[in-house]
Amino acid sequence: EVQLVESGGGLVKPGGSLRLSCAASGFTFSSYSMNWVRQAPGKGLEWVSSISSSSSYIYYADSVKGRFTISRDNAKNSLYLQMNSLRAEDTAVYYCARGGGDYVSATFDYWGQGTLVTVSS
């Protein structure tokens, strides 16, 4: 059974940093692209970042480019999102989602339960 479990969310002050983690199990992690998608309270889904299976291709939404860094450790079956210079508008539930293949696409076939990030003073 595919499982994705996010952790690392919490309350942080504007300008602060946070590192999210996603622990994957139940599939060959190194064969799939991975993604972060967020959802602000009461709002729709927003793609944040994607990374190909071997980390060769990395993409970011304009809203987080230069502030967030996606990475993965295939030996540990883990995905990460380093978030710096956080703003109030980054407040959201952050979902880890598996891609449909080793390449990056708009297909997210499994999702974690999400971790809440709140940016507030």
Partner 1 sequence: QSVLTQSPSASGTPGQRVTISCSGSSSNIGSNTVNWYQQLPGTAPKLLIYSNNQRPSGVPDRFSGSKSGTSASLAISGLQSEDEADYYCAAWYDSLNGPVFGGGTRLTVL
Spatial CA neighbour of 30 closest among 70, 72, 63: 72
101 binds partner 1 (CB under 8 A): no
Q: Which tokens hold the place of 25? A: 């199990």
| Residues 102 and 72 sit within 8 Å (Cβ to Cβ) | no
CB of residue 66 vs partner 1: minimum separation in angstroms?
A: 15
CB of residue 88 vs partner 1: minimum separation in angstroms?
A: 20
61 binds partner 1 (CB under 8 A): yes
Interacting residues of 36 by C-beta distance below 8 A, sequence separation 6+: 20, 47, 48, 49, 50, 70, 79, 81, 94, 95, 96, 97
111 binds partner 1 (CB under 8 A): yes
Q: Pick the stretch among 20-28, 46-54, 66-74, 77-85 that binds partner 1 (CB under 8 A).
A: 46-54
Give me the residues that bind partner 1 (CB under 8 A), please. 37, 44-47, 50, 59-62, 95, 97, 100, 105-114
